[in-house]
């Protein structure tokens, strides 16, 4: 498919399902950024909650099937593959509504391998009419609202050309390779985010117990090598201990599992990833999984500390070295 045809497809009809903290602002940006003549359909389990999108110009679809019947491109922003599977299945499901070539853009963070398996299955069920592109995002609720998301895209070249103008209304899409590449990229992203958040949490607890002004310290660190987007957006949560979720910590468990899956597939040793998986399993087991990712700070602060070994006399240490 030529890039010219891709541009011509954009003014068709785009559907969005999964209109929560991320999906709703992304759809508002789609409505603002789409060329004249583009119809945007939305579907949700609670239609009343979609009123702001309807007021902004979107059209309600009563079922996923009705949405799929009308759309060239469908974007889903759901927590994981089980929710997507439920959306696809049944007489009112999305697959039942596919009678023309349709591209399903999976913005969820899911297992790359399981996504490829799903793509193969739905291709058979629809005789190749439903094709998948993966496009997980990073940037949080703030980036979704501002339209500045980093969008990690995987899929066939022709399919990605069709959906890129749609995704460009929401942020910066980058095509990284075949189907599943976006999910691998998101897993790598989450590994870095989890490691950074954990380091911030541990540093904050150490500093507080040492008598430092944690807010002043973190502000200072933001201007140096320790600065990061994670530190910028999570500083307030750490300082105020307000862990109201913009993204639940429990989702990190599946994201790190996806990173582990790819590490195993590519024969990569990942000592830090292994530690982070254990940590976030413990965070969820402690009942903190529904709080914001920054709740790692609370977990670190409240975790029991093993008794430290008795300090050894420096002279004795030197003597041990000399006698080796």
Q: List the catalytic residues.
A: 186
Q: Kindly write down the DSSP assignment for every residue of 91-130, as one continuous string.
A: TTSTGGG--S-EEEEE-S---HHHHHHHHHHHHHHTTT-E
What six digits make up the tokens of 78?
A: 């759901």
Query: How far is the CA of 73 from the CAs of 10, 122, 221, in angstroms?
Result: 9, 15, 43
Q: Kindly write down the DSSP assignment for every residue of 9-46, as one continuous string.
A: HTTSEEEEE--STTHHHHHHHHHHHSPTT-EEEEE-S-
Percent helix, strand, coil in the chain, to 5, is 55, 15, 35
174 touches 153 (CB < 8 A):
yes
Residue 120 φ then ψ, to 5°: -65, -40
Kindly give the pairing relationship between strand 137-138 and strand 149-154: antiparallel
- For residues 202-215, one letter each, b for 16 or more C-beta atoms within 10 angstroms of the residue's C-beta and e for the rest, the string is ebbbebbeeeeebe
Question: Distance of alpha carbon 145 from its chain centroid, rounded?
Answer: 15
Q: How far apart are CA 56 and CA 52, in angstroms?
A: 6
| Length reported for the chain | 324
Residue 71 φ then ψ, to 5°: -105, 145
Which of helix, strand or coil describes residue 172? strand
């Amino acid at each position: 498919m030529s890039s010219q045809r891709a541009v011509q497809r954009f003014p068709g009809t785009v559907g969005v399902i999964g209109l929560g903290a991320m999906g709703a602002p992304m759809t508002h940006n789609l409505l603002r950024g789409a060329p004249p003549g583009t119809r945007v359909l939305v579907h949700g389990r609670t239609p009343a909650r979609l009123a702001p999108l309807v007021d902004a110009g979107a059209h309600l679809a009563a079922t996923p099937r009705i949405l799929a019947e009308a759309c060239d491109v469908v974007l889903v922003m759901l927590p994981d593959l089980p929710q997507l599977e439920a959306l696809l299945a049944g007489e009112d499901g999305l697959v039942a509504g596919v009678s023309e070539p349709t591209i399903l853009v999976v913005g969820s963070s899911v297992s790359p391998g399981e996504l490829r398996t799903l793509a193969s299955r739905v291709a058979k069920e629809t005789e190749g009419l439903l094709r998948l592109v993966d496009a997980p995002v990073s940037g949080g609720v703030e980036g979704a609202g501002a339209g500045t998301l980093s969008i990690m895209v995987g899929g066939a070249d022709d399919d990605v050309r069709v959906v890129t103008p749609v995704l460009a209304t929401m942020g910066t899409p980058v095509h990284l390779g075949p189907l599943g590449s976006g999910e691998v990229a998101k897993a790598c992203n989450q590994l870095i985010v989890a490691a950074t958040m954990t380091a911030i949490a541990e540093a904050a607890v150490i500093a507080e117990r040492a008598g430092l002004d944690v807010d002043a310290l973190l502000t200072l660190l933001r201007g140096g090598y320790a600065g990061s987007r994670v530190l910028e957006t999570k500083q307030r949560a750490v300082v105020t201990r307000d862990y109201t979720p913009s993204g639940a910590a429990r989702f990190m468990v599946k994201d790190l599992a996806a990173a582990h899956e790819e590490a195993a597939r590519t024969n990569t040793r990942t000592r830090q990833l292994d530690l982070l998986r254990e940590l976030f399993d413990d965070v969820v087991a402690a009942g903190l999984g529904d709080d914001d990712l920054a709740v790692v700070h609370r977990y670190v602060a409240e975790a029991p500390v093993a008794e430290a070994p008795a300090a050894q006399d420096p002279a004795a240490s030197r003597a041990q070295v000399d006698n080796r």
